[in-house]
A and B are shown apart, each in its own frame.
Chain A
Amino acid sequence: MISIQDIRKKGQKTLVLGNHPGVVQSILDFDYACGKKEPSILACITSNRKSLKFFFGKGEVLIPCYPNVAALPKHLVGKVNWMLNVQSGRRAFDSTVAFFDAFPDAYGGHIFAENVPERHETELIKRYGGEKIIAGPSGVGILVGGYLKIGAIGGIGLAQLDQGKLATAGSVAVVSTSGGMTNELITAVAQAGKRVSFSISIGGDRFPISSLGEVLSLAEEDAATKAICYFGELGGVDEYEIVELIKAKKLTKPVIAYIAGVIDEAFDEHMQFGHAKALVAHKDESARAKRDALRAVDAIAPDTFPEFLAALRGLSTPEFHDRVVPMDELSKRKASILSTREVVDMDAVPVFVKNKKLVASETTFAQKSLEAILGREVKSDVTAAFAEAVFSLLIDHGGNVSGAVNTMITARAGKDLVSSLAAGLLTIGPRFGGAVNEAARVWIDGVASKKEAGQFVEEKTREGKLLLGIGHLKYRVGIPDPRVAAIAEFATLLKKHPHYDFAREIEKVTTAKNGNLILNVDGVMAAIFLDILAEKEGFSDTELTELVDAEFFNALFVIPRSVGFIAHFIEQKKNDEGLFRLPDELLFVRRKKQ
């Protein structure tokens, strides 16, 4: 089991299982107050989100999210030291085991859930007891003053961070089974003019993973800890463990304890209080008996809480220096919409004409557009040339296609440029122009699946799915689409082109069924572009999938085709033919019977 002193020295990076925004934010505030340069939270394991935005100091940071521990990227895997498990009691066991299977060297963590079955607790003890520091199930977690916060411990409000002086390394260990009283005690320590060395909220469940005895041993071994402040309740026999440790001289530091529950004497029948084990089953589990036992070995165990606080004030502890937390600054912060893209650098004054001569531009409009939507500079000429080729090729395919038709009809209805363009753009979808992105998804899935093309087609068809990127109304085997051939030539500039190869393999299978099921322009663009981005621009598979998830590949059509729609709009305005009405012979109307 790692010592408290080593926790202060070694890695303090935490992986969160589940998502509890208030608790995570409080940990980031703690990190900032402690002067850390970056958050201690590495990532959250939660579905449906890619990242969560939090404050780090006054600024904001994105904490990445992954659907399971196995999906954590390599550069994060080696960094994980701690677990914060905020999932429900139903999932706590499985997720904890999955965590330690993935990170067997992690030091421990906190299980926040109440309602974890006893059987799961004893099983976790069997696996990790004595080896990891695990606070809970239930309770509020682990705090090492000035160094580490895992859980809600010490509170989640900014004011509490300052009130409890959590960012200061102190000399009093706070140990409690009750989450609420842990914080009450941390606050009390600060108000008594002391600071907390570390605090572990053991949790009120019957079988906490790290036992009271283990936590007390941590306190005994920690040189910075000078005294122990303990809160216990009626029920259970934990306090006799303290008595035994003191008797055996394994616990030599002063212990100030408050054992709550004399109220139970006022009832006829034993009451079940808030915590799972706060029910007296045998007489020696009563608050009074446990207090007496502690006093018998010279621990300070006062009758009343005010006396307990007075004893705390009376401790002599070393000096400390508080870190100044800029509370004013922090309490005024406001969340923003995150935007890091600044496509045109407003600070650099552009030069277009110099000495009455044009200054040749280094990059084309197509390249600049591509760089803007990729969010990074293009490294390779091949990529730039591909953008130029695709954008030029896709500007327009004549007025017959549905998007152009809608633009023209809207223009003739007297509408303005933006409305008419919007009418055209809104037509883009799975059957018209919007298939590039889904085609890219098919190729990524196909390559990743390592399946043979025939089997892949078979499975997709059985699921009743269309293979986007395959098929054309006009072109077929024997009458190839000239644009496809032109784009396909880019493959010769690449060392490897797995997506393009896969697309061609699929085409072989589909054309064997029907000559029209050829690789179409959407499909070839998607495949070649995936291969170019991977080889020439260094995109990883994950990054490519992120582009697909953000519908990036459809932009390859939307950008140039906007130009085409505007061209049709301007022509219609010039001709000014008046409102369009579909000729009667083009509209088949079923007459109602007279």
Chain B
Amino acid sequence: MSRVKLTEYRAKKIILGDSYRGISVRVDEKGKLAPLEAKGSLMGWVAKVDQGVKKRMKQGLVAVDVDAKKVADAFAVWAKKGFSQFLLEPLFPHKSEEEQYLSLERVREGVRILHAKDGGIEIESHPEAVTNLIVAGESDIAKVAKKTGLNEKFLRDLLQKFNDNFFAFLEINPLVVRDDIAIPLDAAVLVDSAGAFFTKNWTDDDLVKGKAQHGAEEVVETLAATTPAQLSLKVLNKDGALFFLFSGGGGSIVIADEAQLQGAGDLIGNYGEYSGGPTREETHLYAREVISLCLASKAKTKALVIAGGVANFTDIAKTFAGIIDALTENAEEMRKQGIKVFVRRGGPNEKAGLELMREFLTKEELLGTIYGSDTVITKAVEDAIKFVKP
């Protein structure tokens, strides 16, 4: 479904196998740092934050050639900044001339390989220094080895691991090349999350966790993990005026676009969607989180927009019943705050679903406007913007 970041620790463990000597250190749930093993022998190590952060060096998230004491200090400082996953590796002394750049990316035709002899350069700004090759089949590997000067067996093994482990993108920068050996010093990997079922070499636990999230996002994430339907939520502006219950796919982007085009992009409180035929109960739990966000916002005039395209197979009456369950719990507070609800939706059981919603919103004095598939998809959000920004 999507490309997600793998921790550097796991990435290298997969690429280098048992010979990899890196140690993964995590802050546990209570906020305590796991004790370092074999402290005494720690001399000349590299410590870094392992959470997919770009330009770590510049941000001071890498400590080079440190001993046990300095490692502990660095970890403590980083933990205070909100990071929780770290990596410890033996320092690998090398000259900067030995550094090269290598990346692999899955593309339609196979795997695209980018290579540069000089690892220090910015790839984006020096396209002329980069060799761009496609490996569509086994036979292309030798060609790539020839053109890049990289060891063929190294490339073959790397591609094998890339494929076997459902990698989507791998960047090694720098790659240290010394005679016939190539050693990845830094490795960034995006895996294809749909591959999780097919490999045992990495699990959810090896995916990079972002910095602490909003509570509602966590609730939805947990919910999403237990259903075949798609549920997602991202809080954009906790004091926004427009809160969205989007029913998924391209329709959500069209509607959000309309808000942006009308100059109300900064009023958007959240983005996310419920789609893929969630049950009434799942929709209820999802809607509850969005409604709580709306209630908690400090904006003066607020609107809840329940909108989406003409569904292909999601049952409108069933999902609307779930949303009504969540609205029922909060109707009084919503009325008190003067929140109005704006609706546009179509699909199977559209008539029954819209009727149900209209009746409920009218009774609870929450109705802004409500439309079906015979009205343009953006109408409800237009009405909502006029309401919050007259």
Contacts and interface: CB of A to CB of B under 8 A. Distances in A.
B280 to A, nearest CB: 16
B326 interface: no
A155 B253 contact: no
B209 interface: no
Given A119-B166, A180-B310, A187-B346, A278 B253 contact: yes
Q: Report the contact-size class of chain B (Cβ under 8 Å from the partner).
A: 35 or more
Interface in A272-320: 272-276, 278-279, 287, 303-306, 309
Interface in B229-287: 230, 232, 234, 236, 247-254, 256-261, 265-266, 268, 271, 273, 275-276
Interface string A150-162: 0011111101100
Interface string A256-273: 001011110111000111
B125 interface: no
Nearest to A163: B373
A263 B262 CA distance: 11
Interface in B133-186: 136, 163, 166, 168
A251 B351 CA distance: 40
Interface string A225-237: 0000001011000
Interface stretch (A109-117, A433-441, A517-525): A109-117
Contact of A305 (B258, B266, B346): B258
Nearest to A121: B108
A180 B312 contact: yes
A176 interface: yes
Interface in A321-369: none
B2 A262 contact: no
A22 interface: yes
B260 A266 contact: yes
B260 A23 contact: no
Nearest to A306: B376
B189 interface: no
A543 interface: no
Given A22-B313, A184-B310, A275-B249, A89 B194 contact: yes
A377 to B, nearest CB: 44
Contacts of A303: 261
A28 interface: no
B101 to A, nearest CB: 17
Contacts of B1: 114-115, 276
B249 A119 contact: no
B383 interface: no
Nearest to B199: A117
A125 interface: yes
A116 B194 CA distance: 6
A181 interface: yes
A187 B374 CA distance: 8
Contacts of A287: 257
A263 B249 contact: no
Contacts, number: 174
Q: Report the contact-size class of chain A (Cβ under 8 Å from the partner).
A: 35 or more
B55 to A, nearest CB: 14
B268 A266 contact: yes
B254 A258 contact: yes
Contact of B192 (A119, A154, A157): A119
A122 to B, nearest CB: 7
B309 interface: yes
Given A122-B108, A163-B373, A263-B260, A179 B312 contact: yes
Given A118-B168, A191-B374, A178 B251 contact: yes
A309 B232 CA distance: 29
A184 B110 CA distance: 33
Nearest to A88: B228
B377 A263 contact: no
A261 B351 contact: no
Contacts of B252: 273-274
A155 B311 CA distance: 7
Interface in B170-215: 192-195, 197-198
Contact of B108 (A116, A125, A179): A125
Contacts of A260: 250, 253-254, 257
Contacts of A306: 376, 378
A303 B2 CA distance: 28
B106 interface: yes
Given A22-B313, A157-B347, A274-B275, A187 B373 contact: yes
B265 A231 contact: no
Contacts of A261: 253, 257
B350 A157 contact: yes
A276 B3 CA distance: 8
Contact of A207 (B108, B195, B275, B311): B108
Given A187-B373, A305-B378, A231 B250 contact: yes
Given A155-B347, A271-B234, A204 B257 contact: no
Given A207-B108, A260-B254, A305-B378, A119 B163 contact: yes
A211 B108 contact: yes
B299 to A, nearest CB: 16
A266 B253 CA distance: 12
A183 interface: yes
B22 interface: no
Given A156-B312, A180-B275, A266 B258 contact: no
A114 B252 CA distance: 18
A266 to B, nearest CB: 3
Q: Which 5 A-B residue pairings sit nearest by Cβ, starting from the closest?
A: A178-B250, A266-B265, A180-B249, A181-B250, A157-B348
21 contacts: A114-B276, A122-B106, A152-B313, A155-B310, A159-B350, A178-B250, A180-B248, A183-B312, A184-B309, A191-B374, A234-B253, A260-B257, A263-B253, A263-B257, A263-B268, A271-B234, A274-B250, A274-B253, A275-B250, A276-B3, A305-B258
Interface of A: 22-23, 89-90, 114-119, 122, 125-126, 140, 152-157, 159-160, 163, 176-184, 186-187, 191, 204, 207, 211, 231, 233-234, 258, 260-263, 265-267, 271-276, 278-279, 287, 303-306, 309
Given A157-B348, A260-B253, A309-B376, 6 more contacts: A155-B348, A157-B349, A159-B350, A177-B250, A184-B250, A274-B252
